[in-house]
Structure 1
Amino acid sequence: MLRWLTAGESHGPELVAILEGLPAGIPVSLDDIRADLARRKLGYGRGARMKFEQDELAVSGGVRHGLTLGSPVALRIGNTEWPKWQQVMSPEPVDAEALGRGRGAPLTRPRPGHADLVGMQKYGFDEARPVLERASARETAARVALGAVARSFLAELGIRLVSHTVAIGPVQVPEGSELPMPSDVDRLDADPLRCFDAATSERMVAEVDAAHKDGDTLGGVVEVLAYGLPPGLGSHVHWDRRLDAQLAASLMGIQAIKGVEVGDGFETTRRRGSAAHDELHLADGRIVRASDRAGGTEGGMSTGTVLRVRAGMKPIATVPHALPTIDVATGEPAPAHHQRSDVCAVPAAGVVAEAMVALTLANAVLEKFGGDSVGETRRNLEGYLAAIPDALASEVADGAVRA
């Protein structure tokens, strides 16, 4: 079983991430992790921080000579602006008068749509800085780094992931459009909004431009696809062991995500049952599904078809034309504090969602197949697939017969 956590604030010295439970022998490339961190900064409509944040990466444990050791993997990601924030975010007490000037001025105008007000109520703070520093999506850099390690593990088992943008505001990829493959990652990352449909991408760019001109922000929808999953990850026997439930929880845990669907999701609710499910047929003696409306899970378990999960991101709550709020220091109406922000961060949300799905699937794989080394995990997977009776054998999404 995997356990992982992150620590650190948006303007603290660094982010820290620890991943425990991985088998030994997984290839870990620092360049690959750095590449994923760079992908997180991509996207048309991103803010100024993405232009100068370096995401300096260091490994503190769990990896030797490019391979995991079976011990906890510990990663650190530096915050480039830390020198400017040392007084504001100092772990040691700071003179109140000095702190009250400039960057350290109390943030007493909580921003609508953020964690500010509720965090102040819950934790007893009289200003929002202690809340927004941890609530910030800066924390997702640590998750992306851990997700890169999890993806390397999955790749050793023939499981590969890709994410793409399917909607920005009202602009959506047409239904029935071609799905990207893992080999299309470079093409996706070269697109300004990580959209696989070029014509739709142009319309998305225009929508972002319009929002920027109006001093507003945009949300959207991203989709993560997983190819090569074996059937049987997750379980139907308890609510918390259902793979789709675990995926939904992990995606809902991303900042600003307000909805999740698996497969055709909410569209399925508008169909009759006869047009909502995936019929089973025989092809060359193997069971195949005529469609993938379920999105790769049935009964809380992976089916072996393409896993498709979508996450809906709300428009960024820090609006340039500041929303009305209350100054809790004076009790008077006031414009919300404006922290530097993006117009649209949906493309980055796709990369973060990819990482969360990778971590969730890696955990499901280890729950099913175990293994203290990646070789043992692979043998257990191969043995499981070989033991499936011929009468029940099916295909995985990459087209290679695995049982």
Structure 2
Amino acid sequence: MLRWMTAGESHGEALTAVLEGVPAGVRITSEDIRAALARRRLGYGRGARQAFERDELRVLGGIRHGSTIGSPVALQIGNSEWPKWSTVMSADPVDPQELLIDAGTGDEREIARNRPLTRPRPGHADLPGMLKYDLPEARPVLERASARETAARVALGAVAEALLGQIAGIRLVSHVVRIGSVALPDDVPPPSAEDTVRLDADPVRCTDPATSAAMVAEIDATRKDGDTLGGVVEVIATGVPVGLGTHVSADRRLDARLAAALMGIQAVKGVEIGDGFAEAARRGSVAHDEIVSVDRGTLTRSTNRAGGIEGGTSNGSDVRVRAAFKPISTVPRALRTVDLATGEAATGLHQRSDVCAVVPGAVIAQAMTALVLADLLLDKTGGDSADEARRNLRSYLSRIAERTQWRTER
């Protein structure tokens, strides 16, 4: 079983991530993890923070000479801007007067660095977080609620993807299928893992050039209007064997685990497995994936409307999931709020932010999908080493092959 946890704040000294349960012998290097972190920073519509913020990765444990060693994998991602925030985010007590010193730029956006944030922003965790934890201001809330935390999850996802590929040959790819009102046409073929380099090079991580250009134009128009955009991403996993997840316990269902993991990404407001909501408009006779036998030995499907999952269990088809991201809550046109220090009407503080963060959302969704699949793969195979897990998987798949071989009598 895999267990993972992250710690740290957006403007703190570093993010820390721990992944426990990785078997020994999974090949992974710092450069592999850095490459995943770099992909998270891509995308048209990102804010100014991406221009100067750097992900300073350190591997603290669990990996030696490019291979996991069976102990928890511990990663740290340093904050290159920490010197600017060391007083505001200090773990030790600070004289309140130091926090009232003006940043000196005259920029309203920078005042948030050293003054209490008492005007909760609509759409953020600010207000419920302040009330739940009895906090006088929103700084402690927004620092942890920030999507900056997903850098730690993407780093762990890189380890999970290496595990999936080396033990089971599972490969993942993610792409954007909608930004605002612009959607990828249904007749565009889905991408494969071989398309990753091309997708990384596209400004909006879209497989279709015409749709990509329209999405870029949508982002430009939204930026000009002083607004933000959401969208939809899709993750596809190929090579997933039959039997990950189960129908016997609700909390171990593959679809339930994926839905929870994707809904746990900041700004995600909806998740779809396979054709999802479109299935609700179909009749049963055309909604399901019929089972066919090829050469009386290989079971396959003529369609994949279920997204590779039936009864909470992978069925051997590609696992296909989508996540819907709401528009970014930090809107340049400051929204109405109430100052909790005075009770007076106010506008939410606007800090630097993205116009559209759907593109990195695809990379984050891919990482979370990898973590869930890796957990359930190890749940099926067991094994303290990658070699042992591979042997166990081969034995399991061999038995499945025996079950699906029918020979005519001679």
What are the superposed Cα offsets for residues 183-218 of structure 1, whole Å, 9 maximum, x if unpaired?
A: 100000100000011111111001000100000000
Corresponding residue for residue 123 of structure 1 = 133
Corresponding residue for residue 379 of structure 2 = 367
Corresponding residue for residue 222 of structure 1 = 233
1:312 counterpart SS class = strand
What are the residue-to-residue correspondences of 1:1-400 with 2, within 5 Å? 1-102=1-102, 103-156=113-166, 157-285=168-296, 286-392=298-404
Q: What one-letter code is carried by the residue in structure 2 that aligns with 1:307?
A: V
1:205 counterpart SS class = helix
What are the superposed Cα offsets for residues 38-83 of structure 1, whole Å, 9 maximum, x if unpaired?
A: 1001000000111111101001110110000000000000111100
Alpha-carbon offset, residue 390 of structure 1: 3.8
Alpha carbons 1:12, 1:85 under 8 Å: kept: yes
2:137 counterpart SS class = coil
* d(CA) in 1 for partners of 2:235, 2:325: 14
1:293 counterpart SS class = coil
Q: What one-letter code is carried by the residue in structure 2 that aligns with 1:127?
A: E
* d(CA) in 2 for partners of 1:304, 1:53: 41
Q: What one-letter code is carried by the residue in structure 1 that aligns with 2:38?
A: A
Alpha-carbon offset, residue 231 of structure 1: 0.3
Alpha-carbon offset, residue 282 of structure 1: 1.5
Alpha-carbon offset, residue 171 of structure 1: 0.6
What are the superposed Cα offsets for residues 7-33 of structure 1, whole Å, 9 maximum, x if unpaired?
A: 000000000000000000000121111
* d(CA) in 2 for partners of 1:200, 1:274: 33
Q: What one-letter code is carried by the residue in structure 2 that aligns with 1:216?
A: D
Q: What one-letter code is carried by the residue in structure 1 that aligns with 2:116?
A: P
Alpha-carbon offset, residue 100 of structure 1: 2.4
Alpha-carbon offset, residue 251 of structure 1: 0.2
What are the superposed Cα offsets for residues 107-163 of structure 1, whole Å, 9 maximum, x if unpaired?
A: 011000000000000001011000000000000000000000000000102000000
Identity %: 64
What are the superposed Cα offsets for residues 257-283 of structure 1, whole Å, 9 maximum, x if unpaired?
A: 000010000001011111100011121
* d(CA) in 2 for partners of 1:15, 1:175: 39
Alpha carbons 1:37, 1:141 under 8 Å: kept: yes
2:131 counterpart SS class = helix
Q: What one-letter code is carried by the residue in structure 1 that aligns with 2:359?
A: P
* d(CA) in 2 for partners of 1:101, 1:303: 60
Q: Which moved more, 1:27-36 or 1:206-215?
A: 27-36
Q: Which moved more, 1:34-43 or 1:278-287?
A: 278-287
Alpha-carbon offset, residue 175 of structure 1: 1.1
Q: What one-letter code is carried by the residue in structure 1 that aligns with 2:17?
A: A
What are the superposed Cα offsets for residues 294-350 of structure 1, whole Å, 9 maximum, x if unpaired?
A: 000000000111110000000000001111111111111111011211000000000
Alpha carbons 1:287, 1:393 under 8 Å: kept: no
RMSD: 1.0
* d(CA) in 1 for partners of 2:344, 2:91: 32
Alpha-carbon offset, residue 101 of structure 1: 2.9
* d(CA) in 1 for partners of 2:380, 2:3: 16
* d(CA) in 2 for partners of 1:101, 1:108: 17
Alpha-carbon offset, residue 389 of structure 1: 4.8
Give unmatched runs, 5+ long, in structure 2.
103-112
Q: What one-letter code is carried by the residue in structure 2 that aligns with 1:59?
A: V
Q: What one-letter code is carried by the residue in structure 1 that aligns with 2:295?
A: D
What are the superposed Cα offsets for residues 87-106 of structure 1, whole Å, 9 maximum, x if unpaired?
A: 00000100011112332200
Q: What one-letter code is carried by the residue in structure 2 that aligns with 1:14?
A: A
Q: Which moved more, 1:95-104 or 1:75-84?
A: 95-104
2:363 counterpart SS class = helix
* d(CA) in 2 for partners of 1:261, 1:332: 41
* d(CA) in 1 for partners of 2:216, 2:59: 37
Q: What one-letter code is carried by the residue in structure 2 that aligns with 1:261?
A: E
Q: What one-letter code is carried by the residue in structure 2 that aligns with 1:183?
A: E
2:320 counterpart SS class = strand
Give unmatched runs, 5+ long, in structure 1.
395-403
- TM-score normalized by structure 1? 0.96
1:70 counterpart SS class = coil
Q: What one-letter code is carried by the residue in structure 2 that aligns with 1:96?
A: P
* d(CA) in 2 for partners of 1:348, 1:314: 13
1:167 counterpart SS class = strand
Q: What one-letter code is carried by the residue in structure 2 that aligns with 1:40?
A: R
Corresponding residue for residue 401 of structure 1 = none
1:269 counterpart SS class = helix
Alpha-carbon offset, residue 391 of structure 1: 4.6
